[in-house]
Amino acid sequence: MSFQIEKDVPFAGTLGRGKVPKYPFADMEVGDSIALVDERQLKSARNAAFLFKQSRENFGPGHWDYGATKYKDGSGRLWRTA
């Protein structure tokens, strides 16, 4: 079986088996943030940000870091800090 190499085919913006990223980490610049509606979503976003940060470190330079805040009402916000 042989494969043909194709140039300039736009990336579909999906992950793995056709999944679309849940959070826009790749599009965030330093100082950008996303609002999270409840504690469950905040925890999910923090876990996803941690995995995103680890995956970026595996591909060399290009530091990416984040910070998160939980508010009294259970909502929260996640910032790109680096």
Q: What is the residue-level pLDDT of the chain in tens, covering all 82 positions?
A: 666 767 877 665 556 666 778 899 888 999 999 999 999 999 999 999 998 888 877 666 668 889 999 999 989 999 999 8
Q: How far apart are CA 79 and CA 41, in angstroms?
A: 14
pLDDT at 3: 66
What is the pLDDT, as a whole number, of residue 40? 94
Residue 69 amino acid letter = T
Strands of 1-82, DSSP E = 33-36, 66-70, 76-80
pLDDT at 70: 93
pTM: 0.72
